[in-house]
Amino acid sequence: MNLPEGDASQAPRRLIALAGPPGAGKSTLAPALAAHLGAVVVPMDGFHLDNRLLDAAGMRGRKGAPETFDVAGLSNALGRLKAGEGDVILPAFDRDRDAAIAGAIRIGPEDRLLLVEGNYLLCRLPDWADLAQFWDASILLRVPRPVLAARLAARWQGYGLTAEAVAAHLANDLANVDVVTDSAIEPTLHITETDTAEAIAARIAARLSR
């Protein structure tokens, strides 16, 4: 998708939400879709609360649930991005370290199209629902629950966990799957795994060009 001619930093910054349940393949789709759109990916996962905070609150077993994210911090960052502020510094999540890394992503004034990726971006939940004001377009990736369950179990098994630990993580993940599925607002575009990044980008570009 082409931005208007001239100084790109003067064009309105537009934000696209890419949401879906855990294990749906959002993080795989996001860079391919961003490449077709000419967008920069902004992952929601950098706003995970630290494990020390979760331990103190007794929420470590629910890590990844909506209440284990700094949604106020995410909303503040999105507001700055939507306002066109340059050099917005954002955190990223390091899955190997199981921790958010501060100051890991820079969004500069030249970045006018952002693809924000995360589970709960389109959820009708307290505080999360307020994020809808930032989206110029939104995409919801749907995958059958049995497929998600198999993928998520395989993910945890890949860490060499015991069967009991895998079951506990899977139960948490599937609870979060149900939250995303049951509380989703109507997106601009519903997609499935059969939709290609190129085709999705074309439909979103058409929407943004209206």
pLDDT 10s digits, 165-206? 999 999 999 999 999 999 999 999 999 999 999 999 999 999
Q: Is the pLDDT of residue 4 over 80?
A: no
pLDDT-based confidence at 8, cuts 50/70/90? low
The span from the CA of 66 to the CA of 61, in Å, is 13
Least Cα distance to 108 among 15, 13, 27 occurs for: 13
pLDDT score at 148: 98
Structure tokens at 145: 């629950």
pLDDT-based confidence at 210, cuts 50/70/90? confident
Q: CA-based Rg of the chain, rounded to a whole angstrom? A: 17
pLDDT 10s digits, 123-139? 999 999 999 999 999 99
Least Cα distance to 47 among 82, 95, 16, 93 occurs for: 93
CATH architecture of the domain with residue range 8-203: 3-Layer(aba) Sandwich (3.40)
| Cα dihedral 183/195/69/66 (nearest 10) | 20
pLDDT score at 5: 43
The span from the CA of 74 to the CA of 80, in Å, is 10
pLDDT 10s digits, 72-97? 999 999 999 999 998 999 999 998 89
Residue 44, helix vs strand vs coil: helix
Average pLDDT over residues 42-68: 97
Q: Is the pLDDT of residue 1 over 80?
A: no
Q: Is the pLDDT of residue 6 over 70?
A: no
pLDDT 10s digits, 109-122? 999 999 999 999 99
pTM of the model: 0.94
Structure tokens at 88: 């917005």
Helix, strand, coil share (%) of the chain residues, nearest 5: 45, 20, 35
Q: How far is CA 8 from the centre of its chain?
A: 25
Q: Is the pLDDT of residue 19 over 70?
A: yes
pLDDT-based confidence at 9, cuts 50/70/90? low
Q: Measure the CA angle with vertex 119, ends 95 and 93; round to 5°.
A: 25
